[in-house]
Structures are given as structure tokens and as C-alpha cells.
Amino acid sequence: MIPTLLTLLPAASADDSSWITFDIPSLMQNFWSATFDGLTFGSIYALVALGYTLVYGVLNLINFAHSEVFIMGCYGVFFTLSFLGFGPSAPNLSVGSIIVNLLLALVVAICASALTAFLLERLAYKPLRKRNAPRLVFLITAIGASFTIQYTIFLVRGPNPEPALTMFKSRPIFEVFGTFIYDQQLIIVIAAVIMMVITERFISKSRTGRGIRAVAQDPDTATLMGVNKEKIIITTFVIGGILAGAAALFYVMKIPSGVQYNGGFILGIKAFAAAVLGGIGNVRGALLGGLLLGLIGNYGQILLGNSQWTDVVAFVVLVLVLLLRPEGILGTSLGRSKA
Amino acid sequence: MTLLELKNISVHYGRIQAIKEMSFTVEEGEIVSLIGANGAGKTTTMKTISGLLNPTGGIISFMGEDITKMKAHIRVVQGISQAPEGRGIFPAMTVLENLDMGTFGRKDRTGVKDDLERVFTLFPRLQERQKQYGGTMSGGEQQMLAIGRALMSRPKLLLLDEPSMGLAPQFIRQIFKIVTEINTQGTTVLLVEQNANQALARAHRAFVLETGEITHSGTGKELLANPAIKEAYLGVG
Ligand SMILES: Nc1ncnc2c1ncn2[C@@H]1O[C@H](COP(=O)(O)OP(=O)(O)OP(=O)(O)O)[C@@H](O)[C@H]1O
Ligand SMILES: [Mg+2]
């Protein structure tokens, strides 16, 4: 965790005269490519952010171990693709068989993440609920669970990232505003948005979704209505896991070298920030927050000419937004996502 | 027929005993009122019956069946429905969605429409405000919604925890009138109240609760006439 944090800081040796400069021409020039790529990253943040938001909604708990739910999905992707013979260079396969392989990796990733989320709730949080533990204990348990999973992976796989696997060679497919849009970007954004729309529909229309919203607003009254709170909680964790598993496939597609024991940490923090930015507990807020954070990070990076600044810029904006709107852009209620 | 029976029920919050070996029954078709001062244990009793709290001793039976260990969300399906103290309206759901939550545990979807109509007949205001968010309803409207929602599960036993709390006198009379109406339509009612006058006048039988114990019981009329109760709960004269 510490080394990862250090990489956030600018290298001390950078020549001081250019420590902060605003490269506006560069931003103008690269605006659209930064936008498309920002939306791609933003979709991934949003998928992970939903997991934070849903669990926060029903348990009022910031599930810090959700970043590890996500990274387990990344390992699911990595192992599936290695098993299927993918390597550092793009595979020599037909489009059809690549799609089949990626769908297989998606299924494994979703299972890995959902199972992690399920076990996390059953082994870590449920026993605390049975004992009526105070809120702080849940939070500390969440952080503890996060470290436990990270260092278990560390023990098994070591400190280094897994070798990068290329899923397919990303190709430009059409041009908008003089900038190419790549098939990879399109796949990620479209798939993520479809998953989020399905989630939103599910929460607002299905019987289980009504149960989730009821528990989020008033758990005791929800129980009086016949809602099985425990079933709703575990379902919520699993939904968050499924979305994180899908995010894992897209993340490894975009950053093949990102599969590492602590590889979920920064992404988890950003996804959490996205949830807070949009309004934690709010399903649409997670989407909005994720996309905004992806865009802001990319613009900031170009404007400041240094990729190390991406995260800093994103968080500065987060703090500014929260100063103006402490409940996030769309407010905090799970149910209010409909309004 | 005895619908609900509490036998030697004790409830603790940590080490504090809120209910002490309480026993009483509710017969089918009755309105039974439970009156008592603040902190007497009325809400605790209601939550124990609906299953939100587990008793530390004693047995609860419903329609002759021991439900002491039954989970709260299943008790609703069995026919126990509670309009909780403080109303428990889902603020970010509309009136219609709140009412719909009342049917969550129901298996038969066919009767839902009739029950919705029945609730709208009892509370025309709810029909007018179907699309309004629960959180923006007035206190009195929320109370109607809480009672209406509790009826949507078509309960055999309706638990009402202080339905008159925070309402204007005129409104209180209306709520109590509706409680009687619900009862004559065939629903058994267990009513917790601080407004002892109305609660006793409307009740077939009533109990007085003091610090976790039943100190008086009788028909509503008997308790209304009891000088000790008059002095303690009804205001002299
Ligand atoms: N969650 C809790 N933890 C600890 N003690 C509690 C809790 N809830 C209630 N009590 C205590 O149990 C006793 C009974 O409370 P209860 O809420 O049942 O009273 P009540 O008769 O409903 O009062 P009121 O008319 O004010 O609603 C009180 O002394 C109260 O302080
Ligand atoms: Mg009370």
C-alpha cells in the first residue's frame, strides 16, 4: 500500500521550474482523444463504484474490501486467458473465437468477484451484525479484510504484476471530431453502460430491487413489510461482485499489466470517489461520478503534462464538489435515483 | 378464537429488562388497547410481537401456533402487520410504492387491487397523492399511509403503535374512527396509545402497562371508569 501511495507524489527530482504548468494547447489538441479515453476509464470506475454505492445503501458501510473483490476478478481474467493460451502479443484467432474466449474470461471473472463478495459478507460482516457491533468495528473489519485478501494474493503470487496478456489488437473503427474511436473503447463503454442500465432497471423495477431500496431507506420497516433483510444484503454484495467482475475484464483489456496483489487499491479508491462524487447510495450518481472522474483525470493529466497528476486532479475536483454539495451531485439516497 | 397469546414474555435491552413476564391475549375480532406512560414498554411489546425484537423468555403464539422463534419477515406473511411508531414511511418512495411495499410478502397478487381500493376508500387523500414522495407528506398523511400500507398485506392482526402521535385533535378523532371501521371490516387490532381517552373508548378490552408490567386490565369501559386510571392517564375530570 505504501509504495503505491508514493507513486502518487511527483518525483522529487523533477526540475522545479516546470513543477506545475498548464499546457492548454496540448489539451486543445488532444481534447477528443482524452474525452473518449476518459469515458472508457470512467465506465470502469462506474461499474466498481456501483458496488460501493449499493453496499453503502443497504448497510451504511464503506466496504473497503470491494477493491479486492475487483482484483479477484482481474485474476480470474488473467488465469482464464493464460489457460486459453493468450500471451503478450495479440492472439492469432478469428474474431468469433476471441469473443468466445473473452466471454469465458468474463464469466470466470464475474464468478471470482461475486464469490469473493459473498464470502466477504458471510465471513466478515454477517457475524458482526449478529453481535450488533458498532459502525466503527465494521469499518475496521472492512479495512482488515482488504489487507487480508491483498496479502493472501501476495503470498501466493508474489509482489510483481502478472505478465501482460493482450486480448486483441485494438483498431480504430471510425473518426469523430478528427479523432479515432477504437473498438476497445467502444466495447468497454457500451458494455458497461448496458450493465449499468440493467442494474438501474433491476433496482427500480424488480421485487428484489424494491427490497434493496426499502432496506436502504429503513431496514426495520422493510422487515415489517416482509423483506428478508439478510437475503437482500447478500444479494446486494453479489450484485456488486458481478459488476466488479465485469469491470475487471474491461480493466485488464485496457491495462494488461494491472493484475497485481495491490492492483485494486488505486482503482478502488477512485471508484469510491466516483460514488461519493455522484452521491453515495445513488445508482445513477455512480455512473455520473465514474464518467466525470474518468474525464477529469484525463484532462488534468494532459493539462499538467504528467500522468502522476491524474489522481491528484481527480481528488481536488472531488473535494471542491463536496464543498459545494456535501451529498454529492445527485444526492445520497438509493431510492431517490428515480427522481 | 384466541388470535394472539403472550405467555410470560420478558424482553431485555442488554441488562435492562423492559418487559417483565407479561401475559395477555387478543381474541379474533377485537380491538385491544395497550396504554401506558412514556417508557412503559409499549413499543417494545409491539416489536416483540412483530418479531423485530426477540424475547428473552416466554412464548408468543399466533392462531395457536408457537411463533416465538419465527423471523419477523415471515410473521407478516402469517398475518401480523405493524404500522410502526414514527410511521416508518419510505421517504424516497412514492405513496403508491409505499403501499406496494405492504404487499411484498404476499403470494396472491389477485387480491391486491381490491385491497388498494379499500385503502383508497378509507383514505381518499392517499389516492389523490399517489405520485407524491412519502418523505414530503405531512405527518397526518404519513400516518394514513402507514396504516394503509399495513393493511395492504391483508393482515389478520393489525398492530398500531401510537397512530395519534403528533396529530391535531380533529385528525386524531378521524384516525380512531377509521381504526374502528377497519375492525368492523374484520381485522383484529392491537392498539398502543398515550391518548388513553380515545383508545379506551374504542377498545373492547384494554391493558395498562407500567414499567414493563400489566397493572390493570378490563373492558375499555371499565378502565375508563376506574378512578386510579382516570387520575393517572385521563386527566382528572
Ligand atoms: N434500543 C434500546 N436500547 C436500550 N433501551 C431501550 C431501547 N429501546 C427502548 N429502551 C428502553 O426500554 C423501555 C421501554 O421503551 P419503549 O420504547 O417500549 O417505551 P414506550 O412505552 O413505547 O414509550 P413511548 O410512549 O415513549 O413510546 C424504556 O425505558 C426505554 O428507555
Ligand atoms: Mg413507544
- Residue by residue, DSSP assigns A86-124 as --SSPP---HHHHHHHHHHHHHHHHHHHHHHHHHIIIII
CB A23 within 8 A of CB A242: no
Return the C-alpha cell found at A77.
481474467
Ligand 1 pocket, mutate which of B17, B33, B42 (most atoms under 8 A from CB): B42
Return all residues near B234 (Cβ < 8 A) that are at least 6 apart: B196, B197, B200, B224
CA–centroid distance for B192 within its chain: 6
Contact between A214 and B90 using a beta-carbon 8 Å cutoff = yes
Give the CATH number for residue B137: 3.40.50.300
pLDDT-derived band of residue A284, with 50, 70 and 90 as boundaries?
confident
Q: Return the C-alpha cell found at A162.
A: 502478472
Nearest CA, atom 24, ligand 1? B38
Print the domain residue range for B70.
2-233
Q: For A129, phi and psi rounded to 5 degrees?
A: -60, -40
Mean pLDDT of A96-107: 90
Question: For ligand 1, what atom is nearest to the CA of residue B40?
Answer: 21
- Residue at A335 is within a domain: no
Q: What is the pLDDT of residue A137?
A: 93
Å between A42 CA and nearest CA of chain B: 27
Residues 6+ apart with CB under 8 A from A155: none
Mutation to test the B interface, candidates A203, A212, A213, A225, most B Cβ within 10 Å: A225
Q: State how many domains chain B has.
A: 1
- C-alpha of residue A139 to centroid of ligand 1, in Å: 28
pLDDT of residue B235: 67
Residue of A89, A47, A84 whose CA lies nearest to A249: A47
Of B12, B15, B16, the residue with max ligand 1 atoms within 8 A of its CB, to mutate for a pocket test, comes to: B16
pLDDT tens sequence across B195-236: 888 899 999 999 999 999 999 999 999 999 888 888 888 764
**A57 is a domain residue:** yes
Ligand 2 midpoint to CA B41 (Å): 7
Question: A251: domain range?
Answer: 22-324
pLDDT tens per residue across span A186-219: 999 999 999 999 999 999 899 999 999 999 999 9
Residues of chain A found within 8 Å of residue B77, distances taken between Cβ atoms: 226
Q: What does the DSSP assignment read for A162-187?
A: PPP---S---EEEEETTEEEEHHHHH
On whether residue A1 sits in a domain, the answer given is no
Q: How far is the CA of B43 from the centre of ligand 1 (A)?
A: 7
CB atoms within 10 A of CB B11: 22
What is the 3-class SS of A70-82, one letter each residue? HHHHHHHHHHHHH
* Distance in angstroms (rounded) separating the CA atoms of residues B84 and B96: 18
Give residue B56 CA to ligand 1 midpoint distance, Å.
Answer: 16
DSSP state of A11: P
- Burial tier of B14 (Cβ tally within 10 Å: 0-12, 13-18, 19+): exposed
A8 in any annotated domain? no
Question: C-alpha grid cell for residue B194?
Answer: 398515550
- The C-alpha atoms of residue A107 and residue A247 are separated, in whole angstroms, by 12
Q: What residue has cell string 421485487?
A: A207
What's chain B's Rg over C-alpha atoms? 17
Smallest Cβ–Cβ distance between A224 and the set B82, B100, B133 belongs to B82
Residue B138 identity:
S
Residue B62, beta-bridge partner list: B4, B65
Cβ atoms of residues B173 and B144 within 8 Å: no
Least confident range of A57-61, A113-117, B121-125: A57-61
What distances in angstroms separate CA A34 from CA A29, A249, B167, one per listed residue?
Answer: 10, 21, 58
Q: Do A227 and B102 touch (CB under 8 A)?
A: no
Residue A337 pLDDT level (bands cut at 50, 70, 90): very low
A23-52 pLDDT, tens per residue? 777 777 788 888 888 999 999 999 999 999
Is A295 part of a structural domain of the chain?
yes
C-alpha distances in Å from residue B176, one per residue of B196, B201, B202: 12, 10, 7
Work out how many domains chain A is built from and give that number: 1
Work out the pLDDT band at A18, boundaries 50, 70, 90: low
Q: How many CA atoms lie within 13 A of A260 on its CB side?
A: 16
Please list every residue in chain B whose beta carbon sits closer than 8 Å to the beta carbon of residue A338.
Answer: 92
Q: Which of B13, B33, B34, B190 to mutate to test the pocket of ligand 1 (most atoms within 8 A of CB)?
A: B13
Is A226–B106 a contact, with Cβ atoms under 8 angstroms apart?
yes
Taking only residues 48 to 77 of chain B, the set having a beta carbon closer than 8 angstroms to any beta carbon of chain A reads: 50-52, 71-74, 76-77
Q: Which residues line ligand 1 (CB under 6 A)?
A: B 13, 16, 18, 36, 38-44, 85, 194
For residue B212, count other CB atoms closer than 10 A to its CB.
21
Q: Quote the cell numbers at residue B101.
A: 411495499
- What's the whole-model pTM score? 0.88
User: Which CATH number do you get for residue A100?
Assistant: 1.10.3470
Q: What is the distance in A from the centroid of ligand 1 to the CA of B146?
A: 21
Contact flag B73-A220 (C-beta cutoff 8 Å): no
3-state SS record for B47-99 = HHHHCCCCCCEEEEEECCEECCCCCHHHHHHHCEEEECCCCCCCCCCEHHHHH
pLDDT per residue as tens digits for the range A137-188: 999 999 999 999 999 999 999 888 888 888 888 888 888 888 888 888 999 9
CA of B13 to the centre of ligand 1 (A): 9
CA angle B69–B71–B77, rounded 5-degree value: 120
| Nearest neighbour of B93 by CB, restricted to A207, A229, A335 | A335
Looking at all shown ligands, the one closest to residue B18's CA atom is 1
In percent, how much of chain A has pLDDT > 90?
A: 46
For all residues of chain B together, what is the average pLDDT?
93
**Cβ–Cβ < 8 Å for A149, A72:** yes
Chain A residues contacting B via beta carbons under 8 Å: 207, 210-211, 213-214, 217-218, 220-229, 333-336, 338-339
Side chain identity at A31, as an amino acid letter? F
- Are A225 and B76 inside 8 Å of each other by CB? yes
Out of A289-303, B129-143, B170-184, B193-207, least confident range: A289-303
Q: How many H helices and E strands in chain A?
A: 13, 2
- Beta pairing, strands B205-210 & B31-36: parallel
Report chain B residues whose CB lies below 8 A from the CB of A330.
none
- Asked if A333's CB is within 8 angstroms of B92's CB, the reply is yes
Could you tell me if B94 and A218 are in contact, meaning their C-beta atoms sit under 8 angstroms apart?
A: no
Calpha distance A289→A131 (Å, rounded):
35
Helices A95-119 and A66-83 cross at an angle (nearest 10°) of 140
DSSP state letters, A237-250:
HHHHHHHHHHHHHH
